[in-house]
Structure 1
Amino acid sequence: MAPRKPENEHKVNSFRPFGKIASHVDPMVLWTFFGLFLISAVLLAFQLDTREDCTTTDIVLSNKQHTSGKAYTVGQVITFNAESSDKKRTDYAWEFGDSSARQTGAQVYHSFNKPGSYMVTLVSGKCAWNKEIIIIAAPAAPAEARPDIFPVIDGPGEVFAGRPVTFTNKTPGAHTWTWRLLQDNAEPHSGAAVTYTFSSPGERTLSLIVNGDTAHMVMKRITVFPARPQAADPAPDPGFAPPPPPPPAPEPEKPKGPTAPAVADDEFLFMLSQVTTKQKSAADFSRYLCDNLSARVLLNDKETDNFAHFCSRIYGKKKFKIEKVNLIKDANGCVKEIRIMYDRKKVLGIF
């Protein structure tokens, strides 16, 4: 039997924090959580050490160009500056929002080709800055001031009713004209000249506007008198009849030159072949040549001769072969030129 403990003796238990948890959790899990905590602390410290301050840089435009609320025009060159108090920051890249190529550098120049609103972005490291640029169309060139034109209406101031009258304007530099009579239902007319026929007498007022300049409209007062009766032509005397004009004298007949009987080219060729056989001579052709035995002869389109001499050359030359004859005649049928084609091979030595 075990001895009995005294009444004042109490059981003493040692206190261990998380003792119950540790008794139920694997120690490797605890070490894993502890390792992850250390890694997170190191990464946080690294990020805090490498963090960039983006508040030290801003996009600034050239002071000469930019004023508050000003918009730029198409084609205007704008200077963009990256103003920064961080001297270590040197890598800058610019994007202009108009599909143009990216530019680099602390100061760049750019112009926009179309009007609109563009967001310009500056990138450096992990920082980015934006600035909106308003581009408007370039103002149109002021229109050239036209010199004042003071037109003048050229035309009579007094006319007769029923007779057409023309009014003109010859002002230098005028290219449009508007004519109008200052009366009811009057229609305007255009052109440098206008013609009116007034049906009744009275006073009329004609206005003219040149080049649409109503400030320099000119007016002309016209007085229309009653129409004058036209004098009738005197009636002819029935008892007097003018003599008829004499008939035209006949033209004298022109003297006609000698005429020649008709002769064909083939017939003339046959007659020339008879010269080579001594059956004919140059005199037999006189009536066809109108007694002009000196008529021109063209041989093979190269050599020329007169007809009498040509006949003497071929007289009795039976080997002379004429292939073609072409006669040139005048209006009376006289042969003025004979064109002869012959075979040179067969007559070698004759000519």
Structure 2
Amino acid sequence: MKKNSNSFKLVFSNFETKIISLFVILLLVSVVIFSFKYKKHVDCDTSDFYIVAENFSVGEVIEFHNETPNATNWKWDFGDGSPKETKNHVLHKYTEPGIYTITLVINGFCLKEKKIQIKNHGEILDRTKLPVIIAPKIAAVGQKVNFTYKYYTNETFSWEWSFGETGQIDNTNEFPNYSFRTPGPKTVTLIVNGEYKFKTSKIIYIKPRPAFKKDSEMMLEEGYTYEKPVEAFYKPKGNPKPDVTDKILKTIPTRSRERHISEFAPDISENQFELLLHQVANQTKEKEDFSKYICGNYQIPVIKNGDQVISFEEFCKRIKGKEIKIESFRLTKDNLNCIDGFTISYKVKGLIGWTED
């Protein structure tokens, strides 16, 4: 009787072990399946797709984007009977005006729809035929800048480059280089294969040269040898003859002279301009206080901390309410004495000390 009892216990123990093992295996399989499904899970409530178009016109290349996390397959229907597309980023053209329903199915079950209206605006340029200029955003006066480009057709045989300083074609090489002579924003244009309707452009901001010593200072340091005695440069004694220029200016009506002078912006030094910027930072001045110096153009380019270009209006917003420390500063002006941009290197004070903005 005792032997049978031990056998029963042994069989029951083996059965219990098998049940536990089976349970563990099932649990592991469930975890694997759940993990696999979780990785492929798409939140349909928050997923969306984006349409990028300039005019929504017949013949225009329109872009469709979807960046849904965990999405692995896509099926686009553009509502015009064209073949379906199966990528997350696709391009499409409509050949007829009308209202179309775009449908996107993500991972086979998440359905999204949008309607767009396509109009006939006449001839639309095929943007894939526009060359793309490749060049640095910022350069300096006198620095050699190399230019290249991307073009989406196979054959190119002529190139017309204009670098925004002469108003003419400056170079006809495929990959030219150029040294800018004056600071400020420059519009570089390129026409490939003589197709003027596909002319493309890119704005480059040119910084002034680094500050050098004046010629007079260099001569004093190096020692200047006069070609004749200094006394020979002195004016002879006696009554000076009247200056012809003064005589001409006296004949100009006062109002006319004042109007001519008023065309020029008032002068301001770099130190004075820096002081005004500090006052913007501590909120005692606004961008409007600079209007007469920048001739009312709040979109002049500001090159900050070496490689970032923003508008003056945006720059004022960035420094407002902050404590700033200006390390270097250079102004550029046009022929009417209007400030048309400046280069600045500065830091702002934060919780851990001074850092670049």
For the aligned pair, the TM-score class normalised by the smaller chain equals under 0.3
Q: Larger radius of gyration, structure 1 or 2?
A: 1
The alignment's TM-score, normalised by the length of structure 2, stands at: 0.26
